[in-house]
């Protein structure tokens, strides 16, 4: 039988304490400005445990969320003119739902990607809060299964928070819910270090369109990654490739091979666009829970006239691109060097140009972000599933075991069908949750 999700209640959760007057305006940073105004979804899955029933009650979750919003106060506000958040304590939307016709174990063991979307709240742009037609920055849906299992689904506005900030918020809420005295303390310093600036003629639209995007999950276990890593090391100057480098390069290679199998009148450049977290690359590093967008995208390229590089070469290209974002890079951005900032925007605009003489695949690694640490008081999640319906976009996520990677691939359906029937890809990836 098909999973049936019924919304039981809808509510608005506001901060437990009002935001002080001197914090009412939260300015976006330069990196926030470079981020598309889209909502990012995530689902966290929890097994039923008898000993912690009280912490999973509706009242407890609402109260802890309200307390958490006092610390993460911009998330309870509303975005204004795309440049600042009015921290008016309007709150976040909170839905509760009952799930019928299946158990949590069935969902985790044999996930149907389209069905999982029922566990997320409706598209935020269509929801209304008490303040009117303005979208809340966060929307939560708590799904209770008949077996006692529970799934928390959430949307968060990317314009104000990257994946690291999303993880900080989730772990802040969960630690508050379980009564941890050492709760996550966010830092809101990015707009001071990297102030916003007037940007004309700039709009991030790459991958955002009316096309129907399909999603597929490819799971690489530790053994498969080790085999790929060993093959890449053979005769290579790339030392100790990471899990993310190996899987990114392998997926890029399969993407190139798959696209070149199509009938193109002309060969194209193939670009890999990888998101880089800058927090630890600053000297001194930013606070662990520095809130906002602190990421930049970098490009690696296989030119149209070249044959497809071997895996080690592709790993090398990705590594060179990522390591180019170092302390000196961050220092130049922080200094407000006009020429350098214009160069960054030009590179992003180049990557965001429409199809033509290039094909692009985007990667964002959510590995090691601590999402599997989000214990609300009833244990850590048995699974976490991200997705982002942008064309040719791949999110890399830890498996629950921590040594594998799930690649969540979003593409046009016809392109994804070719990829999921690629024998080379299927010899290393499976659909099994590990």
Active site members: 158, 375
Give Cβ neighbours of residue 218 (< 8 Å, ≥ 6 apart).
251, 406, 407, 409, 420, 425, 429, 430, 431
Helix (H), strand (E) at residue 166: helix 163-177
Residues 329 and 278: their CA atoms lie apart, in Å, by: 10
Dihedral angle at the C-alpha atoms of 170, 325, 397, 50, nearest 10 degrees? -30
DSSP string, 334-370: HHT-HHHHHHHHHHHHHHTS-SSSEEEEEEEE-TTSS
Q: Is 407 in a helix, a strand, or coil?
A: strand
Residues 420 and 413: their CA atoms lie apart, in Å, by: 10
CA atoms within 13 A on the CB side of 261: 13
Pairing of strands 92-100, 78-80: unpaired
Whether the Cβ atoms of residue 154 and residue 68 lie closer than 8 Å to each other: no
Residues 391 and 411: their CA atoms lie apart, in Å, by: 5
DSSP 98: E
Phi, psi of 119 (to 5 degrees): -85, -5
What ranges make up the beta strands (E) of 14-89? 25-27, 39-46, 78-80, 84-86
- Sign of the dihedral through C-alpha 152, 158, 163, 167: negative
Scan for tokens 């992003």, then name that residue: 348
Give Cβ neighbours of residue 203 (< 8 Å, ≥ 6 apart).
none
Closest CA to 37 of 192, 205, 215: 205
DSSP 75: G
Centre a 10 Å sphere on the Cβ of residue 85 and count the other Cβ atoms it contains.
23
List b or e across 262-296, with b for residues whose CB sees 16 or more CB atoms inside 10 angstroms.
eeeeeebebbbbbbbbbbebbeeebeebbbbbbbb
CA atoms within 13 A on the CB side of 242: 10
């Amino acid at each position: 039988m098909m999973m049936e999700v019924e919304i039981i209640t809808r509510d608005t959760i506001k901060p437990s304490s009002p935001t002080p007057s001197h914090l009412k305006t939260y300015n976006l940073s330069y990196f926030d400005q470079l981020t598309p105004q889209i909502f990012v979804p995530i689902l966290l899955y929890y097994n039923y445990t008898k000993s912690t029933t009280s912490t999973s009650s509706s009242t407890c979750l609402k109260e802890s969320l309200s307390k958490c919003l006092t610390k993460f106060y911009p998330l309870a506000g509303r975005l204004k003119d795309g440049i600042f958040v009015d921290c008016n304590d309007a709150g976040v939307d909170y839905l509760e739902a009952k799930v019928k016709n299946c158990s949590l174990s069935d969902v985790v063991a044999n996930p149907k990607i389209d069905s999982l979307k029922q566990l997320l709240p409706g598209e935020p742009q269509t929801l209304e809060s008490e303040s009117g037609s303005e979208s809340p920055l966060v929307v939560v849906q708590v799904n209770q299964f008949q077996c006692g299992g529970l799934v928390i689904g959430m949307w968060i506005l990317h314009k104000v928070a990257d994946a690291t900030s999303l993880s900080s918020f989730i772990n802040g809420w969960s630690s508050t819910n379980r009564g941890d005295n050492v709760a996550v303390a966010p830092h809101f310093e990015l707009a001071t270090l990297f102030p916003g600036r007037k940007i004309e003629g700039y709009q991030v639209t790459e991958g955002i369109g009316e096309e129907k995007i399909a999603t597929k999950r490819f799971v690489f276990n530790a053994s498969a990654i080790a085999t790929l890593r060993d093959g890449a090391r053979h005769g290579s100057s790339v030392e100790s490739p990471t899990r993310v480098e190996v899987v990114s390069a392998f997926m890029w290679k399969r993407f190139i091979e798959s696209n070149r199998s199509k009938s193109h009148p002309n060969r194209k450049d193939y670009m890999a666009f990888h998101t880089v977290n800058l927090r630890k690359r600053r000297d001194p590093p930013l606070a662990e829970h520095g809130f906002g967008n602190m990421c930049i995208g970098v490009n690696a390229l296989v030119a149209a006239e070249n044959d497809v590089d071997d895996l080690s070469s592709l790993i090398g290209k990705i590594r060179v691109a990522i390591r180019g974002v170092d302390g000196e890079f961050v220092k130049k951005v922080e200094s407000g060097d006009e020429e350098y900032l214009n160069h960054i925007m030009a590179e992003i605009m180049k990557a965001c140009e429409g199809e033509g003489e290039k094909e692009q695949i985007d990667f964002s690694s959510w590995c090691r972000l601590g999402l599997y640490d989000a214990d609300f008081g009833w244990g850590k999640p048995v699974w976490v599933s991200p997705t982002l319906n942008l064309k040719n976009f791949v999110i890399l996520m830890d498996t629950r075991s921590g040594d594998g990677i799930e690649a969540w691939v979003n593409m046009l359906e016809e392109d994804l069908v070719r990829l999921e029937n690629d024998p080379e890809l299927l010899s290393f990836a499976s659909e099994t949750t590990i």
